Chains A and B, each alone.
Chain A
C-alpha cells in the first residue's frame, strides 16, 4: 500500500458483514494516521483499537448511516484523541511494536525537529494540523469533523503554525 494517503477505495461500499475485511484493509492507513495524530506508535495502536472496536460494535448502523466507515473512523479517532484520550494504556493487540519502553522516548523521528515540534503542540492544535496537511482537508471540513466552528479551526491552525515556526527557528539557530 502506498504511504501518504489512505486508499480512498477502502471506505466505500462495505456490506453489513464485512467488518473484518474493512479492518484488514483500513488498519495500515489508520495506524499511520494515528501515529501522526498521537505522536507515537503506542498511542496510535491504542487509539485505533478503541475506535475500531466501537465502530465494529455498531457496524451495520455506521455503514447504513454514513456510507463511508473509513471517513467515520478517522473523524472518530481525531475526536477521541482530543476529548477523552489517555486513560490507562491497554494491552496492545493491533500493532507490532518495539518492546523496549525507551523506544517511546527515542523514537524513529529523533532527528526530526519538525516532528519534535509537532509533539509539543496541544492535542487539538495538532489534530488540526494533521487533518489539514495529512488528510488534506479544508478548514470547513476540519470544522465539521471536529464539531467546532471554522473560526476555531482558523485560530487553532494559526497558533499551531506560529509555535511550529518559533520552535523550528530556535532549533536552527541552536545548530549554528
Chain B
C-alpha cells in the first residue's frame, strides 16, 4: 500500500464534507462586525483619552464626549453617571466621588511627601480588576522588551492581523490579554495591557490617577520612568480618573503613540 496515495484518496473522500448551516453566512458577517466595532471603540477611545490626559492638568474632569468614555463604561455617556458597576468595563468599581473634586489630588499628594516611589503604597484603593501579569521593568515575564520576532515565533506565537503603524507588527502576549509590538528594529519595543496587568509598584487597571502619581514621582499625567530600567517608560491611559491601560514602552519606538 502506498501511504501517499492513501492519504490523497482519504482527503478526497466525500465524508469529509461538513454541511453548512443555513444562516452561517449572516452569523459570520455579524460576528465580524461585532469584532470590528469592539476594536474601533477601543482604539478611538484610547486615543482620545490619552490626548485628553496629556492636555489637561486636571485629569479627571476633561473627558466629556460620549466617545471618550466608551472603553471604561460602555453603557453610560458621561463618566459621572456610572454609579452602577458594569461587568463590561475594566473598572466595575467606578466611584462617583473621584470625578468632581479637582483640588483633592493636590492636597493628597502634598500630604504624603515621604512616600518613596518604589514602595507599594496603601494610597491606592483596592483595584477592582484582576491583577493578572506583572508588567515589570523589562517585560511581562514571558515577553521582554528587546525580544526578536524570532523569539516570539519560536514560542509559537502568531502575529495579529491588526493594522499597525509602518514597520510595526503586533503579537498577542502569552496571556493573550495584552499586545506586544515589534518595531523597525525587529525587536519588541512596546507591551500594552488593557486588562489583567499590574506594575511592580502595584498600579493596575482600575487604579486611580492619584495612586499612579503616588507610585511614580515623575508621573507627567501620561508617562513615568520605569524604576529599574532607564531605557523604558510606563504610559498610562485613564477614564474617569482610573487607569484603563498600562504600556511599557522603549524610549525609542514608533509603534505606540
A interface, CB within 8 angstroms of B: 3-4, 19-20, 23-24, 27-28, 31-32, 34-36, 41, 44-45, 49, 52-59, 61-62, 76, 79-80, 82-84, 92-97, 108-109, 112, 114-115, 118, 129-130, 133-134, 147, 161, 164-165, 168
The answer to whether B29 touches A94, judged by C-beta atoms less than 8 angstroms apart, is no
Choice from B1, B8, B32, B176 contacting A57 with Cβ under 8 Å: B32
Q: Chain A nearest CB: distance from B143 CB in Å?
A: 15
Contact with A53, one of B8, B12, B20, B31 (Cβ below 8 angstroms):
B31
Give the A-binding residues of B (Cβ under 8 A): 1, 3-4, 6-8, 10-29, 31-36, 39, 153, 156-158, 161-163, 176
The answer to whether A57 touches B4 (Cβ under 8 A) is no
Count contacts between A and B, CB distance < 8 Å: 132
Smallest CB gap from A161: residue in B = B3
List, in ascending order, chain B residues with CB within 8 A of A130's CB. Answer: 11
Give chain A nearest CB distance to B135 CB in angstroms.
21
Give chain A nearest CB distance to B24 CB in angstroms. 4
Given A23-B28, A53-B32, 4 more A-B residue pairs with CB atoms under 8 Å apart are A3-B17, A32-B17, A94-B27, A129-B7
- Cα distance, A168 to B5, chains bound together (Å): 14
Are B15 and A95 in contact, CB atoms less than 8 angstroms apart? no
| Secondary structure class of chain A's binding surface, majority of residues | helix
Whole-angstrom CA separation of A97 from B162 in the bound complex:
32
- CB within 8 Å for A54 and B161 given contacts A4-B12, A94-B28, A164-B3: yes
In the complex, what distance in Å separates the CA atom of A34 from the CA atom of B19?
A: 12
Task: List 26 A–B pairs whose Cβ atoms lie within 8 Å, in order of A's numbering.
Answer: A19-B29, A23-B29, A24-B25, A27-B25, A28-B17, A31-B17, A34-B18, A35-B17, A52-B31, A53-B32, A55-B161, A56-B35, A57-B39, A58-B163, A83-B157, A83-B158, A93-B23, A93-B24, A93-B31, A95-B18, A95-B20, A109-B13, A114-B6, A133-B7, A133-B11, A168-B3
